[in-house]
């Protein structure tokens, strides 16, 4: 089969990958000298309500603003008199008690916006006021020097492309087992690709060679026998665990977890209520991921959550909360100094709010920046988060 015929049949190497998308700007080397943590970023899309997950039970403004959806102090777990965890996070309580799970409150972006699209785009770009258009995970990946075919992976149906936008090599997939070259079962497409591009100029051969490397790498990933709940998040995290255990060169993975836009029916801490059930699924999925990897492997893994914005402090008439500003992040891993909530808490009195929202006292990028420096081996943050300094909370221990 000649090059023209194969292109006509397969519409190119990247397009031929079933349920997967490869970066169009790809490095050629297969190895990496990266020795930092595997960073797993879970995007809680829709506007996660940090005040439900990590309830500010010690602030009198909390119950006043949320008379029907505030968590009663008696129901929280791991409470310290100031904050308490939603009881639905109980599957992660062992990690909290072991000092491996922490929260950071009153975090967010500097410029408030209540537009999902604008806020998530800004959060994934993470370079406001600059001409930078790449995603912050792409910039991070580039600085690590990782060039393997599975160094940067986004998993799941949503495929958060913006966070990986840019020149670093990455791949998006529904599941590991879905990554196949379309038509390869009927004829030797992969072999034909290799032969066709063997003598092609590097800039033309790169996409096909990258596809071939990705297919070869994925073929070596063993099936999982671990038990996970039947949720989309759990399915994605199971595949992340497979990549980590296979030592496939995974540096960072991005996973989406949606359905947090709770304008109505957010509810209280009772099974059947939206926040309770969503947090239960989240906690069970993450707990299964931790159990799958085990303590020894989790020493070199950091999981963190991001969301485009929080919810308004006051509940609305539908027992929900509308788009807000300040929020909470969760961090989990062997290097996390957990078992506590880190925050420069601004308070919930009316005078302390920003247009009715929880004020942001900590830039979410500074939280991630501390992880990138101490756990991922990055030096200056200027190329990832221009003008941002890492947080001084001491969230994680240096490797």
69/265 Cα distance (integer angstroms): 9
CA-to-CA separations, 352 to 313, 358, 366, in angstroms, rounded = 11, 8, 22
**Which tens digit of pLDDT belongs to each residue from 64-88?**
999 999 999 999 999 999 999 999 9
Answer whether residue 338 shows pLDDT above 50: yes
Helical H segments across 155-313, by residue range: 189-196, 202-219, 232-245, 274-298
pLDDT band at 340 (very low <50, low <70, confident <90, very high): very high
Residue 25 has pLDDT above 70, yes or no: no
pLDDT band at 260 (very low <50, low <70, confident <90, very high): very high
> Percent of the chain scored above 90 by pLDDT?
74
Question: Does the pLDDT value for residue 7 go beyond 70?
Answer: no
pLDDT tens digit string along 139-154?
A: 999 999 888 899 999 9
Arithmetic mean of pLDDT, 193-221: 83
- Phi, psi (5° rounding) for residue 40? -110, 115
Could you give phi then psi for residue 199, rounded to 5 degrees? -110, 15
Do 167 and 142 meet the contact criterion of CB atoms below 8 Å apart?
A: yes
What pLDDT does 157 receive?
73
Give 28 or 364, the one with higher predicted confidence. Answer: 364
Residue 272 has a pLDDT of: 92
The pLDDT confidence band at residue 13, using thresholds 50, 70 and 90, is very low
Would you place residue 11 in the very low, low, confident or very high pLDDT band (cuts 50, 70, 90)?
very low
Domain boundaries, the chain: 29-188+226-374
**Residue 198 pLDDT greater than 90, yes or no:** no
Task: Please check the confidence at residue 179 and state whether its pLDDT lies above 90.
Answer: no
pTM: 0.91
Q: Which helix (H) or strand (E) holds 178?
A: none
- Using the structure block, give the residue that is written with the tokens 């990549």: 243
- Check whether 17 has a pLDDT greater than 60: no
Q: pLDDT tens digits, residue range 215-233?
A: 889 989 999 999 999 999 9
144: CB partners within 8 A, 6+ apart: 32, 34, 36, 151, 251, 376, 377, 378
Please say if the pLDDT value at position 234 is more than 80: yes
What is the model's pLDDT at position 159?
Answer: 53
Q: Which CATH architecture has domain 29-188+226-374?
A: 3-Layer(aba) Sandwich (3.40)
d(CA 108, CA 327): 6
Flag whether pLDDT at 112 surpasses 60. yes
Is the model's pLDDT at 30 over the cut of 50? Answer: no
The pLDDT tens digits for 37-48 are: 999 999 999 999
DSSP-assigned letter for residue 221 = P
């Amino acid at each position: 089969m000649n090059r023209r015929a194969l292109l006509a049949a397969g519409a190119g190497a990247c397009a031929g990958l079933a349920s997967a998308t490869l970066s169009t700007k790809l490095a050629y080397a297969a190895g990496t000298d990266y020795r930092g943590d595997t960073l797993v970023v879970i995007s809680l899309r829709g506007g996660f309500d940090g005040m439900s997950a990590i309830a500010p039970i010690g602030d009198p403004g909390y119950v006043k603003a949320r008379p029907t959806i505030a968590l009663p102090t008696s129901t929280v777990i791991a409470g310290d008199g100031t904050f308490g965890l939603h009881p639905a996070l109980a599957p992660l309580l062992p990690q909290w008690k072991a000092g491996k799970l922490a929260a950071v409150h009153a975090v967010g972006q500097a410029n408030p916006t209540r537009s999902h699209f604008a806020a998530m785009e800004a959060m994934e770009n993470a370079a406001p006021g600059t001409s930078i258009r790449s995603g912050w995970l792409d910039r991070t990946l580039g600085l690590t020097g990782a060039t393997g075919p599975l160094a940067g992976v986004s998993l799941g149906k949503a495929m958060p492309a913006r966070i990986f936008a840019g020149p670093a090599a990455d791949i998006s997939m529904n599941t590991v087992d879905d990554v196949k070259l379309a038509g390869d079962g009927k004829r030797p497409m992969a072999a034909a690709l290799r032969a066709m591009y063997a003598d092609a100029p590097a800039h033309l051969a790169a996409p096909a060679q990258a596809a071939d490397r990705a297919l070869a790498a994925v073929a070596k990933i063993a099936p999982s026998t671990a038990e996970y709940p039947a949720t989309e998040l759990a399915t994605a995290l199971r595949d992340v665990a497979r990549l980590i255990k296979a030592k496939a060169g995974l540096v960072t993975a991005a996973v989406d977890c949606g359905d947090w836009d709770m304008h109505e029916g957010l509810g209280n801490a009772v099974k059947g209520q939206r926040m309770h059930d969503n947090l239960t699924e989240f906690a069970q999925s993450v707990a299964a991921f931790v159990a799958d990897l085990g303590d020894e492997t989790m020493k070199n893994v950091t999981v963190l959550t991001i969301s485009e914005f929080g919810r308004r402090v006051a509940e609305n008439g539908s027992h929900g909360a509308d788009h807000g500003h300040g929020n909470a992040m969760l961090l989990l891993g062997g290097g996390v100094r957990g078992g506590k909530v880190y925050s420069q808490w601004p308070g919930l009195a009316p005078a302390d709010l920003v247009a009715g929202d929880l004020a942001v006292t900590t830039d979410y990028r500074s939280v991630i920046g501390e992880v990138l420096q101490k756990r991922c081996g990055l030096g200056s943050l200027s190329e990832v988060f221009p003008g941002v300094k890492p947080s001084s909370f001491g969230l994680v221990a240096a490797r």
